[in-house]
Amino acid sequence: MTRRAVLSLSLTLYRSHPKLRLETDGRPVAIHGPNGAGKTNVLEAISMLSPGRGLRRAAAEEIARRPEALGWKVAARLETPGDLHEVETSVDLSKGAARSVRIDGKTAPQTRLGALAPVVWLTPAMDRLWIEGAGERRRFLDRLALAFEPDHAEAALAYEKAMRERNRLFKDDIRDPAWFAALEGRMAEAGAAMALTRARTLARIARAQDGAATAFPAAELSLDGPLEQGFAAAFAPGAPGAPDLDPAPDPAEAAETLRRALRDGRPRDAAAGRALTGPHRTDLLAIYAEKGVEARIASTGEQKALLVSLVLSAARAMAAEAAAPPVILLDEVAAHLDENRRAALFDEVCALGAQAWMTGAEARLFEALGPRADALALGAAADRG
């Protein structure tokens, strides 16, 4: 087995689905049906098989089917390179909003999901990615980074936790330098690890774009965070060690740089009540390479094509590096793609050997897939046993 695929999916009291069970054979899955049929809910449930809050970033209590549910559950049989796994994630709201994970019958941390089943996605809400705030672009990049390096989730969690505690010191008017130094040390170590993974992810995508036979435009990507820029220089073509990603640069120097910046920035951060320096402020920048224009001023169709291109490039890089591409979720994939581009997307997904779960209002949108995909119709009732 050299692929990643969801072979069975069971939802219990999950949004519009009181009970739903789907079986697949590992091919791409094309889901069609009217608005309100629960198509996006299926994709969101699959996204819960990875760390985090899923493709909608919803709170656990928002997901449970109302009014009867006091929780929800997603269960799946996953095919991974060389193995099969039973995965279950659920929330019991009577015991709080914490999400539990079980892998092959054993309790596991959410971060373990990242190594088991990398998942990447595109949703209609992301169509405005290049023209909205930097936060959404960071999340997009971090999702791709997580698909390559599951430890990225732990570094991000450690950084966010230490940053929240440092911000609380400012709020509570605590000025103990020892407390600040300890938290800034944790932020610096985790932040340097985050920056390194982000830079390495962009290098992977750039190399996957280079010479690829694709109908989608290449993007020249960069990061405006100083730590990421330093690491990116180490991975640039012609740099010592390039084109290999290993051995990686030592993050210790970057961590020390961030630690000093946090220490020196305490007065300014105290006035603002939050950290104004660090990887939580990094932005992902893109240029439509063929035209030499920034993604933010490209046409709507070009912006969508760039997003598709980045996801496909990341999947190609993972297929080359980790034996199989990630599971890909493409919600309302036909939006802003003409018939030729849509057919090209299907061809590239199939050539990758990726299991992509795609949604659309009408079956005709997926005609170019033919027998290469498993077609699934969801009706308005959205109740399947």
Q: Are the C-beta atoms of residues 35 and 379 closer than 8 Å to each other? A: no
Predicted confidence at residue 67, as pLDDT, reads: 74
- Summarised one tens digit per residue, pLDDT across range 248-301 is 678 899 999 999 999 999 999 999 999 999 999 999 999 999 999 999 999 999
Q: What is the DSSP secondary-structure string of 118-138?
A: -EEEE-GGGGGTTTS-HHHHH
State percent of the chain over pLDDT 70: 95
What is the rounded average pLDDT for all residues in the chain?
A: 91
* Tokens (6 digits) for 82: 């060389």
Predicted confidence at residue 340, as pLDDT, reads: 92
Alpha-helical (H) ranges within 126-236 are: 134-148, 151-171, 177-209, 226-235
Predicted confidence at residue 380, as pLDDT, reads: 59
- Summarised one tens digit per residue, pLDDT across range 1-58 is 478 999 999 999 999 999 999 999 999 999 999 989 999 999 999 999 999 889 999 9
Distances (CA, A) of 115 to 2, 110, 153, 359, 377: 15, 10, 11, 26, 31
Say which amino acid occupies 323.
A
**pLDDT band with cut points at 50, 70 and 90 for residue 240:** very low
Q: Is the pLDDT confidence value at 366 over 80?
A: yes
Q: Are the C-beta atoms of residues 49 and 6 closer than 8 Å to each other? A: yes
Predicted confidence at residue 384, as pLDDT, reads: 40
* Tokens (6 digits) for 63: 């997901």
